[in-house]
Structure 1
Amino acid sequence: MTSRRLIHQLAALVLLVASTSVWAQNPGDARAEMSYYLPQGVQYDSAIPTPEQVLGMVPGEWHVRHDQLVRYMDAVAAASDRVSIERTGRSYENRELVMLTITSPQNHDNLESIRQRHLQLASSTDVVDVSDMPVVLYQGYSVHGNEPSGNNAALLYVYHLAAAQGAEIEAALDNAIILVDPAFNPDGTDRFANWVNSRRAINVPSTDPHNLEHNEPWPGGRTNHFWFDLNRDWLPLQHPESIARIQNYYRWRPNVLTDHHEMGSDATFFFQPGIPSRTHPITPVRNQELTDAIGQYHARVLEADQRLFYTRESFDDFYYGKGSTYPDVTGSVGILFEQASSRGHARETENGILRFPFTIQNQFLSSLSTLQGALALREELLTYKQSFYQESRELAGQSPVKAYVFGDSADRASAYRMAEILRRHQIAVHELASDLQVGEQRFEAGRAYIVPLEQDQYRLIESVFEQRTEFPDTLFYDISAWTFPFAFNTPFAALERRQFNAGLLGVQIDIDDLPAGQLVGPQDAYVYAFEWDEFYAPRALYRLLDAGVRARVATEPFTAMTSDGAREFDYGTVLVAAGPQDVSQETIRELMQQASQDDGLSVYVLNSGLSQQGIDLGSRSHANLRKPEIAIVVGEGVRASEVGEAWHALDQKFAMPVSLLTIPRLRQADLHRYNVLVMASGNYSGVDAAAIKSWVQDGGTLIVYKTALAWAAREELASIKLIEDEEGDQALRSYAEQVRDSGEQLISGSIFNARLDLTHPLGYGYNSALIRVFRDNAQFMAVADNPYATPLIYSDDPLAAGYISAENLEKIAGTAAIVVSRQGSGRVIAMTDNPNFRAFWYGTTRLFMNAVFFGHTISAATAQ
């Protein structure tokens, strides 16, 4: 490794800025030429192909597609002994996820030993000598597919690192391991690139902001295949792109991670640090000091070319589920870059014409300045990582809480999915070795998990279990709470020193298969029964119904004899008689075996139609079930993320087909081929409400939530009342206070206590009346006049975690979270909140699935 003094010298030379710069200052003068992008005075190895030689275009001339991006990266890796490339996964649309490792040939020869030594910074209790250790950077681009300057800049950055010649770049690569993820979001990248490339002028680009090229259609290229924002998935890890990314991250545990974005076209350029008061309290102060120190290098290169930028406003470092903030709780330094977007190839802005090559060049410059800063601060960054984990272990030792235990013996799947995510975050999770009583909660050995706090990821563990309700700043860029056990609706408890002992730690789990259930009883069956408690029960039921099996649901509890003796079956138990059926008994038995193995269900064989207590198996109180035929309204005016979350739940979690209908198609379709219709937030002024009402009256189940409630109420589809703000005397306030005053009344993302009627069809499968609901809106709904029509209501003490203003806290207490209305033979189920939030709010996804499967069974007398 090069000496510390020389490191500082070469860091100052990496960019070759100041007198050697030929970068254009005016965004309108930017041009798609390699001589425009690259620093003057650097010689490049002719054996390394340029993007133009491989792709037939210079970056910025066209928007690069993902296949082109991968093709170029492969070509560079094949030509350079500084670069290697790996396939790390595939997106939903089967696009390859790739990772490049760029360093000196000598480091490549010893890469595994360097990696193992670097990992000791997190795990070793001894002081590790970092004087000759390379710094590790993870530089990722365009997690939002319609923010393309990032992945187009990746072409230039990789070329520069592979081809630049001279002592400075060789020393830099000898002292750094650079991991490049050129496209965080391949599916969104291609959706956007194909749009703008196919609508650009060939000779003279239109700079008109109203031009088609600059206005992509719904759902836009920001999101992945299911319309999720992947920059909110670093903690939940619900998507293949995120899972591959976090595996890459932990293979190295980098010192610096960069996340390259775009923002509104009239802005300039942003880099972190963000708003200081909105840094999560768990993040060490030293993290922000290092962020600021690296920021000085970004500032110098931008100032040298008179480019405008800003820091410490607009963006924050609070939610650990974002790419630039997740590193801050795991011993690294995350840095967000936001570049004003040209949207297409050139666009009029408040600052003049903004051309695509200018936006690419700023991302290229900030990539280089990150390397420059990391090299200059190499030892500080390496020492910080070591001290971060040492301090984490010390904090764990000082904490009165020694472990968290969580689990639900009735719903093993939800707890398992939570444990699986923790393991992906390199958190040690153990099976509970012996039964444990904590207050009124009982956790069963083998059906619960325990997470000891004295481990490297102490800070991350605290962040996912905490129930924070007080904050140094009450404005948030994203959500203010994400307590994992609340999301998965799984009981949990903190164990203090007197409650915890090492004997509670069973086998440490790994990411494996879902815990299997069992098929209990003899080969011959009169009736099969399984309760609705397990999360994947809807998947099993749909498989049965889709195969033509008739099934019913118990609307009252009963006790029946099984081969294990008498057993109580709760509300929502699914019953499948062996006959009469149109499907053979052998097929039904196979489906039941599949339900036990693949869906984790305990399926019981019942061989008597007489119950020990309660209703008999042939009772009319067991409601007949129908196979859901589901349509979701999508398209212009509809919140893509919310309908994407519903689509994802049905497709990925429950293997159920869905029809996605745009509003024009909804007007043309024969609605009677569907029996469930989902309408999330959106503008539905173009919907034929009369046709929807007629469909509901004929027996359809309409599920509406969030802003769709106002439309359903206005069109008299749902008999609900939204609570309006009362006009009152307003004290005079200063102009400067307006942003904060209005922001403090937002509910940007908090968790609330709600009480559920466990006897109601929407409550089937729950075993506690207290559930936690995630809310990110300030719309309130009154309790229904019919006393049976509000199955879910916010408690009188509603805040569980997160921020809410005192005014809104008073408003939400005792309001309705769900109201059920009747229209003829059908039902309208109105929810104030999105039940499928970010795919990891398993606890309320069950409400959604209950509405899908049991909405039609809700008694008319209990609906508004």
Structure 2
Amino acid sequence: MKLRSLICTLFLCLLSGSILAQNPADAKASMDYYLPQDVTYDSSIPTPKEVLGTVPGKWHVRHDQLVQYMRAVARASDRITLHTFGKTYEDRSLLYLTVTSPSNHENIDQIRKNHVALSNPEKSDQLNTNNMPIVMYWGYSIHGDEPSGSNASMLVAYYLAAAQGNAVEQKLQNSIILLDPSLNPDGLNRFAGWANTHKSKNLVTDPNSMELNQRWPGGRSNHYWFDLNRDWMLVQHPTSKGRIKIFQKWKPNILTDHHEMGTDATFFFQPGIQSRTHPITLDKNQQLTKEIAKYHADKLDQNQRLYYSEESFDDFYYGKGSTYPDVNGGIGILFEQASARGHAQQSDHGVLKFPFAIKNQFLTSLSTWEASQNLRQDILNYQRDFYEESLNQGKDASIEGYVFGTQHDQARTYHFAEMLRRHQIELYELEKNLNADNESFQKNSAYVIPADQEKYKFVKALFERRTTFTDSLFYDVSAWTMPYAFNLPFAELEDMDRSIMGNKVEDLPNFPQGEVVGGKSNYAYIFEWDEYYAPRTLNHLLDAGVRAKVASKPFTAVTADGSKKFDYGTVLVPLGPQSTDRAKIHDIIQEAAQDDGVNIYAIGTGLTPSGIDLGSGSFETLDKPNVAVMAGEGTSSYEVGEVWHLLDQRYHMTPTIFPKDRLDNADLSRYNVIVMVNGRYNELSKEAVDKIKRWTQNGGTLITTKYANNWAKQHELANITYAEQDQSKEEDKKVNPKPYADMDKTRGAQYIGGTIFHTKLDLTHPLGYGYNDEDLTVFRNSTLFLKKADNPYATPLYYTDEPLASGYVSDENLEQLSGTAAVVISDVGSGRVISMVDNPNFRAFWYGTNKLFMNAIFFGQTIDGGSGN
């Protein structure tokens, strides 16, 4: 009995220890804590500690350490091949591991071709999925300050390389794992530096600790402060471009997306809220996601972990890692782990330690692997069925194709076509001129997308104009109609004549080439403002000290090609008054035509057949913009980053990212344009406010967007008036009791999370230069409504009376928005304040309103003082 009692006591102690070990406060940064003990491990495979000198979770891994370990484990294992696929903005290597059995590695290219053939309905019926490996993309920590995923990726790589046993061998034979250890190297490194720098020897768990509270802009985003988890569909950044290339090369069946959320939460895995699933997503997708979820639940149950599903998150916006696969024949799975935001933090569930968070990410990687084996054939068959159904829907669609493009701005047309081809959407050059839907499309400047292709579902998702929804709440935007984002003419084609389809675009399209029409001039050069990169050309000239002017009236000039009409906003480079060497000017002109896709015309005389002559006072002299973008605590790092990226990457300008807490002591005379994006500026001192006022009065151009307009109005810089809701109706004053449970839903329905609207643009106004259609579609994600200015010339852009183009908006907000101002100009002494209600640079893909913003920067100085409010 004593022996039996002792055994029972030991068992209870072990059991108790096992339970305590699952408590977040008892988590330990040790391999024994992390790794399952039901397998043996190959001693020839190095552990993270053997390579880095530390166990994951003791410190936050830097990206260089992560790369170091992945290279080491790949060298040691015949199960792993390491690939690099580019560099981040900060020149960090982008890499992933291909993990499978050694025999699969020997035949990996054929396995890939067979797998990709599943998405080709012409070949998929010939394939037997019984013995095909399933393909998965495991991606970790696309938000740099959600680092448990990337730290766990080292454990995952070690386990996949070192774990022994028949079950492991069988799984490796039946799967190809593409392991991406860091979806955002720049953000991960930024956060690791913060957390490690402020770590104490004795862990401090107080939520007020500096370690647990990052300084602006934080580590969530990439180098330019973009949220990369919104860029899977948009592909505007090098990390996304490389990653989508891998995705489309392999077409994985499952993609896992490992994140973190609030410290007081537990653990979330998909599916998300079912009523918020995009209608294009198949029911089978959600059914399989639920089946996979059972494996996550089982694994977390075994380890006494709290979790939840089908709450908080959704599968609507296809630009996230967990939803992009859903419209590409795969299954996206979001994991959200409560975040320690450092090494340890007090939470509603006790002290949450970093190793606890890491282990949850590791456990659900293993549960994904387990699910993929047991559901392998179902998931492979789903991929085949998805593309067969997509093709059949395209063949039966009433809209047989789409055409888009404009001869006025071939760079915007190019960038849209480029994005489509990155997703392997079938695309053709327009073979002959076409009129459709009251739009004209010209050969060599437009493209055709046929509906009868296996990518039809994705095409529909990109082009649809959806305005009705089953749910009024969205985790992200409710609309992204791509031709609207690029401000491109497009048409839906019924009974499409296939003879309009010219050459198929096999890879990426070619960037449009401009030319210097007429060769070298001894008098002047002129170029239109229509092309997207015209601001880059102008900035290059101004930066070199070249004098340039802009036409405030249209005219006709004689070119080498004959007489040509030039519109508002045409830029003139007269050679007579230049102090810059003319040979240098000629070189810049030649380079700009080639690199910027701008046609530049050599002019031999200042006398024009009609309109203003080149010496007219209606050509206004331009100054080189010296731009300061206010940044720091209280401002939106996303929107500061969007301006920074636009000016730096696309237009080769050198904006100053200006910490607003330096305003008191700064010399603002070095700038002639200041940008204040959405944010809070109330903490600026009286001295700083007065300084900005004096700067504006002396001729500066102040551009404010979204809620920065509140600050400008408060300090009498912006003469704007908010549109108030009409409370005159008696029924609006009544308060009817409603269920408490509906409160969040009712409030959320009045939020504009991301919707597209029609506005009307004054094409004669400096802000309208370069546009050819007064209908401009804008993106809005706020409920800030401005009245039109009292001065009839001070509202160059306003919402139409029926503005909804695509997305969700409540009836109340739509009524209030209709006819209100989108941009208001205010006079402040010799300067101008340009109040933009919306963000014209949203996520770097809203090409259509970038020109509006650049016009404010380059031509704000030319706006007549009598036209401001």
Asked if Structure 1 and Structure 2 have the same fold, meaning a TM-score greater than 0.5 normalized by the shorter chain, the answer is yes
CA contact (8 A) 1:136 1:176 kept: yes
What SS is found at the alignment partner of 2:131?
coil
CA contact (8 A) 2:430 2:500 kept: no
CA contact (8 A) 2:414 2:509 kept: no
- Cα distance between partner residues in 1 of 2:172 and 2:633: 48
Residue 758 of structure 1 and its aligned partner are, at CA, apart by 0.2
Alignment of 1:134-153 (within 5 A): 134-153=133-152
For structure 1, the 5+ residue unaligned runs are 1-17
Which residue in the other structure is 1:707 paired with?
707
Which amino acid counterpart does residue 672 of structure 1 have in structure 2?
Answer: S
What SS is found at the alignment partner of 1:125?
helix
CA contact (8 A) 2:19 2:304 kept: no
TM-score by length of 1: 0.97
Which residue in the other structure is 2:317 paired with?
319
Pick the aligned partner of 2:397 from 392, 396, 399.
399
Which residue in the other structure is 1:772 paired with?
777
1:802 aligns with 2:807: yes
Which residue in the other structure is 1:349 paired with?
347
1:586 aligns with 2:583: yes
- Cα distance between partner residues in 1 of 2:143 and 2:520: 53
Which amino acid counterpart does residue 294 of structure 1 have in structure 2?
Answer: I
- Cα distance between partner residues in 1 of 2:505 and 2:320: 28
What SS is found at the alignment partner of 2:21?
coil
Which amino acid counterpart does residue 468 of structure 1 have in structure 2?
Answer: R
Pick the aligned partner of 2:621 from 620, 624, 632.
624
Which residue in the other structure is 1:544 paired with?
541
- Cα distance between partner residues in 2 of 1:62 and 1:130: 43
- Cα distance between partner residues in 2 of 1:683 and 1:404: 43
Pick the aligned partner of 2:668 from 665, 668, 671.
671
What SS is found at the alignment partner of 1:24?
helix
Which residue in the other structure is 1:3 paired with?
none
What SS is found at the alignment partner of 1:401?
coil
Residue 462 of structure 1 and its aligned partner are, at CA, apart by 0.6
- Cα distance between partner residues in 2 of 1:731 and 1:653: 52
Which amino acid counterpart does residue 295 of structure 1 have in structure 2?
Answer: A
Residue 535 of structure 1 and its aligned partner are, at CA, apart by 0.4
Which residue in the other structure is 2:76 paired with?
79
Pick the aligned partner of 1:645 from 642, 647, 651.
642
- Cα distance between partner residues in 1 of 2:585 and 2:199: 57
Pick the aligned partner of 1:116 from 113, 118, 123.
113
- Cα distance between partner residues in 1 of 2:297 and 2:775: 51
- Cα distance between partner residues in 2 of 1:41 and 1:477: 40
CA contact (8 A) 2:678 2:707 kept: yes
Pick the aligned partner of 1:519 from 516, 526, 531.
516
Which residue in the other structure is 1:446 paired with?
444
Pick the aligned partner of 2:254 from 256, 266, 277.
256
Which residue in the other structure is 1:734 paired with?
739
CA contact (8 A) 2:136 2:178 kept: yes
- Cα distance between partner residues in 2 of 1:20 and 1:410: 71
CA contact (8 A) 1:231 1:321 kept: yes
> Residues 781 and 533 of structure 1: is their aligned pair in 2 closer, same or farther, counting only changes over 3 Å?
same
CA contact (8 A) 1:22 1:36 kept: no
Which 4+ runs in 1 deviate beyond 6 A?
Answer: 18-23
Q: Identify which range, 503-512 or 176-185, moves more after superposition.
A: 503-512
Which residue in the other structure is 1:783 paired with?
788
CA contact (8 A) 1:23 1:36 kept: no
Residue 23 of structure 1 and its aligned partner are, at CA, apart by 8.5
Which residue in the other structure is 1:12 paired with?
none
Q: Identify which range, 585-594 or 502-511, moves more after superposition.
A: 502-511
Which residue in the other structure is 2:234 paired with?
236
CA contact (8 A) 2:137 2:256 kept: yes
Which amino acid counterpart does residue 655 of structure 1 have in structure 2?
Answer: H
1:528 aligns with 2:533: no
Alignment of 1:822-833 (within 5 A): 822-833=827-838
- Cα distance between partner residues in 2 of 1:78 and 1:546: 49
CA contact (8 A) 2:401 2:493 kept: yes
CA RMSD of aligned residues (A): 1.3
What SS is found at the alignment partner of 1:535?
coil
- Cα distance between partner residues in 1 of 2:417 and 2:381: 31
CA contact (8 A) 1:22 1:39 kept: no
Which residue in the other structure is 2:692 paired with?
692
- Cα distance between partner residues in 2 of 1:502 and 1:616: 45
Which amino acid counterpart does residue 105 of structure 2 have in structure 1?
Answer: H
Which residue in the other structure is 2:852 paired with?
847
Deviations 1:621-650 (A, max 9, x none): 111000000000001111100010011000
CA contact (8 A) 1:755 1:771 kept: yes
What SS is found at the alignment partner of 2:804?
strand
- Cα distance between partner residues in 2 of 1:655 and 1:599: 11
- Cα distance between partner residues in 2 of 1:522 and 1:681: 45
Which amino acid counterpart does residue 91 of structure 1 have in structure 2?
Answer: T
> Residues 234 and 522 of structure 1: is their aligned pair in 2 closer, same or farther, counting only changes over 3 Å?
closer
Deviations 1:690-718 (A, max 9, x none): 11010011111000011101000000001
Q: Identify which range, 180-189 or 431-440, moves more after superposition.
A: 431-440
Residue 790 of structure 1 and its aligned partner are, at CA, apart by 0.1
Which amino acid counterpart does residue 139 of structure 1 have in structure 2?
Answer: W
Which amino acid counterpart does residue 196 of structure 2 have in structure 1?
Answer: N
CA contact (8 A) 2:723 2:820 kept: no
Pick the aligned partner of 1:658 from 655, 660, 674.
655
What SS is found at the alignment partner of 2:22?
coil
Deviations 1:460-516 (A, max 9, x none): 11111111101111110000000111011110001112x331443334253254100
Pick the aligned partner of 1:615 from 612, 616, 622.
612
> Residues 318 and 181 of structure 1: is their aligned pair in 2 closer, same or farther, counting only changes over 3 Å?
same
Q: Identify which range, 38-47 or 795-804, moves more after superposition.
A: 38-47
Residue 221 of structure 1 and its aligned partner are, at CA, apart by 0.3
> Residues 839 and 108 of structure 1: is their aligned pair in 2 closer, same or farther, counting only changes over 3 Å?
same
Which residue in the other structure is 2:8 paired with?
none
Which amino acid counterpart does residue 790 of structure 1 have in structure 2?
Answer: T
- Cα distance between partner residues in 2 of 1:110 and 1:67: 31
CA contact (8 A) 2:327 2:458 kept: yes
- Cα distance between partner residues in 2 of 1:334 and 1:537: 40
Which amino acid counterpart does residue 230 of structure 2 have in structure 1?
Answer: R
Q: Identify which range, 329-338 or 595-604, moves more after superposition.
A: 595-604
What SS is found at the alignment partner of 1:828?
strand
CA contact (8 A) 2:20 2:26 kept: no
What SS is found at the alignment partner of 1:396?
helix
Which residue in the other structure is 2:10 paired with?
none
Which residue in the other structure is 1:301 paired with?
299
What SS is found at the alignment partner of 1:486?
helix
What SS is found at the alignment partner of 1:426?
coil
> Residues 781 and 80 of structure 1: is their aligned pair in 2 closer, same or farther, counting only changes over 3 Å?
same
- Cα distance between partner residues in 1 of 2:519 and 2:56: 67
Deviations 1:103-141 (A, max 9, x none): 000001110010010010001424121111001110000
Residue 584 of structure 1 and its aligned partner are, at CA, apart by 2.2
1:377 aligns with 2:375: yes
- Cα distance between partner residues in 1 of 2:178 and 2:867: 59
Residue 312 of structure 1 and its aligned partner are, at CA, apart by 0.6
Deviations 1:702-746 (A, max 9, x none): 000111010000000010012234553332212111100100000
> Residues 206 and 275 of structure 1: is their aligned pair in 2 closer, same or farther, counting only changes over 3 Å?
same
TM-score by length of 2: 0.96
- Cα distance between partner residues in 1 of 2:592 and 2:774: 27
Which amino acid counterpart does residue 74 of structure 1 have in structure 2?
Answer: R
> Residues 35 and 522 of structure 1: is their aligned pair in 2 closer, same or farther, counting only changes over 3 Å?
closer
CA contact (8 A) 2:437 2:492 kept: no
Which residue in the other structure is 1:683 paired with?
680
Alignment of 1:79-98 (within 5 A): 79-98=76-95
- Cα distance between partner residues in 1 of 2:573 and 2:736: 64
Which amino acid counterpart does residue 116 of structure 2 have in structure 1?
Answer: L
% identity of equivalent residues = 54
Which residue in the other structure is 2:11 paired with?
none
1:340 aligns with 2:338: yes
Pick the aligned partner of 1:484 from 476, 482, 485.
482
Q: Identify which range, 716-725 or 644-653, moves more after superposition.
A: 716-725
> Residues 509 and 174 of structure 1: is their aligned pair in 2 closer, same or farther, counting only changes over 3 Å?
closer
- Cα distance between partner residues in 2 of 1:302 and 1:760: 61
- Cα distance between partner residues in 1 of 2:805 and 2:522: 45
Q: Identify which range, 558-567 or 60-69, moves more after superposition.
A: 558-567
What SS is found at the alignment partner of 2:203?
coil
Residue 22 of structure 1 and its aligned partner are, at CA, apart by 7.9
